[in-house]
C-alpha cells in the first residue's frame, strides 16, 4: 500500500534530502530548518544520511527520538485494554519488524 504524501511533506522531504546530502549545512536559519526536519522525519533522515562516513550525532539523535516514540506508543497502547483486532495489528507489526531486522 503506497502512502499518499501531502504537498507540504513532499517539499519537506525534498529539503531534508538536500540538507542530508551536504557535507555541512551553512547558516543559522538553514541549520534550524534542518534540525526541525530531522526531528519531524527521523526515519527519512536516517535513510537519506545512511551513506555518510560514520554515524554522526544527528543520526544518533534521530535514532534515539525514533526509539523513544516507539516506546511511548507501546506504553500508550498497553495502558488500556486492547481488543483482538489490535492484537492482530500488533502481531503484524512485530512480524514486519522481525522480517526487516533479519534482512541482509
pLDDT digits (tens, 9 = 90+) for 10-56: 999 999 999 999 888 999 999 999 999 999 999 999 999 998 776 68
Query: What is the pLDDT at residue 7?
Result: 87
In a domain, 91, yes or no: yes
In a domain, 81, yes or no: yes
The overall longest dimension of the chain from CA atoms, in Å, is 51
Taking the C-alpha atoms of 41, 44, 48 and 54 in order, what is their torsion angle to the nearest 10 degrees? 80
Query: What is the pLDDT at residue 6?
Result: 85
In a domain, 1, yes or no: no
| Residues 46 and 62 sit within 8 Å (Cβ to Cβ) | yes
Which residue range forms the structural domain that includes residue 47? 7-101
Number of domain units in the chain: 1
Query: What is the pLDDT at residue 55?
Result: 63
In a domain, 2, yes or no: no
In a domain, 53, yes or no: yes
As a whole number of angstroms, the distance between CA 48 and CA 21 comes to 7
pLDDT digits (tens, 9 = 90+) for 83-95: 999 999 999 999 9
Mean pLDDT of 68-96: 97
**What b/e readout covers 25-50, taking b as 16+ CB neighbours within 10 angstroms?**
eeeeeeeebbeebbeebbebbbebbe
As a whole number of angstroms, the distance between CA 34 and CA 21 comes to 12
Query: What is the pLDDT at residue 71?
Result: 97
CA distance from start to end of the chain: 23
Query: What is the pLDDT at residue 53?
Result: 73
In a domain, 35, yes or no: yes
Amino acid at each position: 500500500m503506497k502512502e499518499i504524501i501531502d504537498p507540504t511533506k513532499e517539499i519537506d522531504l525534498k529539503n531534508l534530502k538536500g540538507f542530508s546530502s551536504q557535507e555541512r549545512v551553512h547558516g543559522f536559519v538553514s541549520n534550524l530548518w534542518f534540525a526541525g526536519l530531522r526531528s519531524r522525519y527521523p526515519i527519512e533522515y536516517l535513510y537519506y544520511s545512511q551513506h555518510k562516513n560514520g554515524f554522526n550525532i544527528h543520526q544518533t539523535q534521530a535514532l534515539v527520538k525514533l526509539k523513544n516514540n516507539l516506546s511511548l506508543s507501546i506504553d500508550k497502547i498497553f495502558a488500556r485494554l486492547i481488543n483482538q483486532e489490535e492484537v492482530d495489528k500488533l502481531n503484524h507489526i512485530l512480524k514486519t519488524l522481525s522480517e526487516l531486522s533479519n534482512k541482509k
